[in-house]
């Protein structure tokens, strides 16, 4: 009897362990900060849920049954002092169908999400969304990476679209065929502290492999400012601030070796006459 009981226990433990792994696999949460009435709160989300910690309580919001969160960004898109949620919704990864803006309402009952705007953009296959400030005009830009062909480029590939949200409408700011070459990932950060975000792009390089390119917005388009060395593969991780300087943090693969690097502008110039984004020496 004893023997049997212990086996049941082992099987139960294996079951729980497997289940916890499965749950973990479904719940890869991304963590962000949301600003409401001047206070910052923790927000996390996965494909089907948004979770906000607000004034000592946790609020869960679920997507509609067959809808997934493809990607999400946070920003005060209507400049009313409270962050909005900018969400690409869709039935299946990796492409979204709808771009939706939500207001986060706060009242005596707590938090509520209210749909403010919805745009069906399934036809352009959106897959990534970011909020950024390119020109310091107090109106956030909305970046959406889409996957389509254009009038001049027949190939279906990733293309960068920028919008503003004016008078409850999405207004095109810049919808490019491409910046310089095909891209696989983007990020926005104010690397030089001038109050304007740089457009940081992982691009396919001519020699094969990938580079990180840094562009800034100038009136009607983007100007290349810096670029990294060539790596086999690059993933943008984020930024880190040390002694008031902001560095780009990337994970690179070279000869199958993964390395986390902090990149910073250097005095060295690349063959394109822009600064080399060089690995910071610790
Ligand atoms: Ca707002
Ligand atoms: Ca702006
Ligand atoms: Ca900047």
* Cα 66 to ligand 3 centre (Å): 40
**Cα-atom radius of gyration of the chain, to the nearest Å?**
22
- pLDDT over 80 at 269, yes or no: yes
Report every protein residue that has its C-beta within 5 angstroms of ion ligand 2.
Answer: 135, 137, 139
What does the pLDDT look like over 175-188, one tens digit per residue? 887 788 899 999 99
Question: What is the mean predicted confidence (pLDDT) over 55-84?
Answer: 95
Cα first-last separation, the chain: 61
pLDDT of residue 150: 76
Q: Which ligand is nearest to the CA of 103?
A: 1
Q: Which ligand is nearest to the CA of 75?
A: 1
Distance CA(122)–CA(174), nearest Å, equals 19
* Strands 245-254, 110-120: pairing kind: unpaired
Strand partners, 238: 249
Predicted pLDDT of residue 25: 44
Average pLDDT taken over every residue of the chain: 90
Whole-number pLDDT of residue 11:
58
The pLDDT of residue 100: 98
Q: pLDDT > 70: what percent of the chain?
A: 90
pLDDT digits (tens, 9 = 90+) for 76-130: 999 999 999 999 999 998 999 999 999 999 988 899 999 999 999 999 999 999 9
Phi, psi of 138 (to 5 degrees): 70, 10
Rounded CA-CA distance 63/47 in Å is 8
Which two three-digit tokens encode residue 277? 């984004």
**Predicted TM-score (pTM) of this structure:** 0.87
pLDDT band at 24 (very low <50, low <70, confident <90, very high): very low
In angstroms, the CA 55 to CA 103 distance is: 18
* Residue showing tokens 């969304």: 129
- By residue count, the chain amounts to 282
Higher pLDDT, 5 or 34: 34
Under the banding of pLDDT at 50, 70 and 90, the label for residue 169 is very high
Residue that the structure tokens 């089907």 belong to? 48
Q: Is 222 left (phi over 0), alpha (psi -120 to 50) or beta?
A: beta
- Lowest mean pLDDT segment, chosen from 152-166, 218-232, 255-269: 152-166
Q: How far is the CA of 22 from the centre of ligand 1 (A)?
A: 36
What tokens appear for 200 in the block?
């940081």
Query: Distance from the CA of 169 to the center of ligand 1, in angstroms?
Result: 14
List the alpha helices (DSSP H) in the chain.
Answer: 2-26
Instruction: Please give the pLDDT value at position 36.
Output: 96
Query: Ligand 2 centre from 177 Cα, in Å?
Result: 21
> How far out from the chain centre does Cα 17 lie?
31
Q: Which ligand is nearest to the CA of 85?
A: 1
Question: In the predicted model, what is the mean pLDDT of residues 13-26?
Answer: 50
pLDDT grade for 27, boundaries at 50, 70 and 90: low
For residue 142, give the ligand nearest its CA: 2
Name the pLDDT band for 22 (thresholds 50, 70, 90).
very low
Label residue 135 by pLDDT band (50, 70, 90). Answer: very high
Nearest CA to 180 out of 50, 57, 272 is that of 272
Cα separation of 152 and 126, whole Å?
Answer: 19
Q: Which ligand is nearest to the CA of 81?
A: 1
Least confident residue range of 15-24, 48-57, 106-115, 263-272:
15-24
Closest residue by Cα to residue 168 from 110, 219, 115 = 115
Nearest ligand, measured from the Cα of 83 = 1
Domain ranges within the chain, ordered by starting residue: 30-178, 179-282
Sequence-separated (6 or more) residues with CB below 8 Å from residue 90 = 67, 68, 70, 96, 97, 98, 122
């Amino acid at each position: 009897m004893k023997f049997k009981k212990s086996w049941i226990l082992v099987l139960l433990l294996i079951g729980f362990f497997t289940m916890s792994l499965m749950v973990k696999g479904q719940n890869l949460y991304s963590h962000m900060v949301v600003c409401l009435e001047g206070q910052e709160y923790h927000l996390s989300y996965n494909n089907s849920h948004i979770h906000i910690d607000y004034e000592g309580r946790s609020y869960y919001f679920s997507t509609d049954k067959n809808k997934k969160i493809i990607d999400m960004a946070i920003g005060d898109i209507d400049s009313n002092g409270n962050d909005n949620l900018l969400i690409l919704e869709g039935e299946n990864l990796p492409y979204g169908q709808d771009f939706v803006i939500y207001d986060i309402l706060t009242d005596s009952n707590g938090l509520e999400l209210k749909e403010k705007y919805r745009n069906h953009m399934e036809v352009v296959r959106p897959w990534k969304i970011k909020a950024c400030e390119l020109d310091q005009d107090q109106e956030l830009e909305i970046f959406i990476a889409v996957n389509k062909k254009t009038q001049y480029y027949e190939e279906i590939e990733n293309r960068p679209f920028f919008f503003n949200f004016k008078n409850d409408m999405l207004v095109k700011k810049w919808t490019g065929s491409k910046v310089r070459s095909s891209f696989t990932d983007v990020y926005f950060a104010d690397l030089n502290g001038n109050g304007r975000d740089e457009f940081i792009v992982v691009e396919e390089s001519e020699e094969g492999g990938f580079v990180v390119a840094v562009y800034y917005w100038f009136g009607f388009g983007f100007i290349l400012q810096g670029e990294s060395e060539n790596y086999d593969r690059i993933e943008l991780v984020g930024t880190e601030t040390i002694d008031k300087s902001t560095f780009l943090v990337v994970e690179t693969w070279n000869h199958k070796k993964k390395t986390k690097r902090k990149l910073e502008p250097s005095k060295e110039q690349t063959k394109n006459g822009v600064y080399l984004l060089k690995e910071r020496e610790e």
